[in-house]
Amino acid sequence: MTSWRLATCVHAVLDALEAVEEICATDKSVLFSLCAGGIISSMPLGHLVATGQEHRLAGFALGVTLLDQSHAGLMASVTSPELVAAAAKSRADGILDARSLAAIFAWLRPGDLLWNYWVNNYLLGKQPPAFDVLYWNADSTRMAAELHADFLHLGVDNSLSHPGQATALDSPVDLSQVTVDSYVVAGIADHICPWASCYRSVHMMDGYSRFVLSTSGHIAALVNPPGNPKAGYRVSEDLLPARTCSPPDNQPELVPARCTGRAWTARAPRSTCSAAGNRCCSSWALAARWVCGDR
């Protein structure tokens, strides 16, 4: 395991794809990946496109994944100086310790993931409440040092956003040549993979893409059973939700915003929005212009 690299993972994805085709007696499969797995899966996707095998895919789906690393998120953590130092220190062992990864991700949201527990549990002596998602989040995973090195190169160079800069099994990875339908899911409160950065993946591929913005954060945005009154999602290719700009019944409205060339145009916020709501609406419109206009 300590010698696993990105190429090892690419081979594994292609082997899994072949196994699914054989077991299910199908010639088309959906490649669906979550978080860093989406970064890995984009590599065999590029390989399939470059070798004329894209027809083997019925669709490509990403959950809370960043492919364009030009803004903060997962790769900003994986490539941070602290984690680079931790990787160098653990290189002799061949692994990046799970605690280093967990600590870096926690410091992305210190108010909720660090100081909250330090105050309530340590200072006040309270027992932490039972929380299944938090228990799952505590189950950290080690990373092979060689795989981490490959992730570093992808993140620092932002290779996936530059056609042909990354290679998979000697094939250039050009996501702009992807024509298969894609399904992209992001979490509005995700501190690891910000939703606006996830949205940029929609514009990196040439096929029809459906973007889903879920409530909650990195895990709960996906692991969220039906019937939860606090959960919800918005689905559209040309709409952005404005959470705090709500009609009297507190049901979220949608503020239309369409990408026209290199800039976004958006409808002005509703006159019923509060002062805080107006700032929120403006920030969403700015985010929309940034997502599309910065390409």
Tell which residue, 210, 209, 201, 212, has the closest CA to residue 179: 209
Whole-number Å distance between alpha carbons of 87 and 156: 15
What H or E segment, with its residue span, contains residue 89? helix 81-90
* Positions marked catalytic: 35
The single-letter DSSP state of residue 165 is T
How far apart, in whole angstroms, are the C-alpha atoms of residue 93 and residue 100? Answer: 14
What token pair was written down for 52?
A: 């004329």
Q: Which two tokens stand for residue 86?
A: 């931790």
How far apart are alpha carbons 125 and 135 in whole angstroms? 19
The one-letter code for the residue type at 195 is: W
Decide if 243 contacts 187 (C-beta within 8 A): no
Tokens 């395991």 identify what position? 1
* Token digits of residue 143: 């990373």
H or E element at residue 86 = helix 81-90
Taking the C-alpha atoms of residue 38 and residue 67, their distance in angstroms, rounded to an integer, is 8
| Nearest C-alpha neighbor of 80 from the set 162, 158, 156 | 156
Count of residues for the chain? Answer: 295
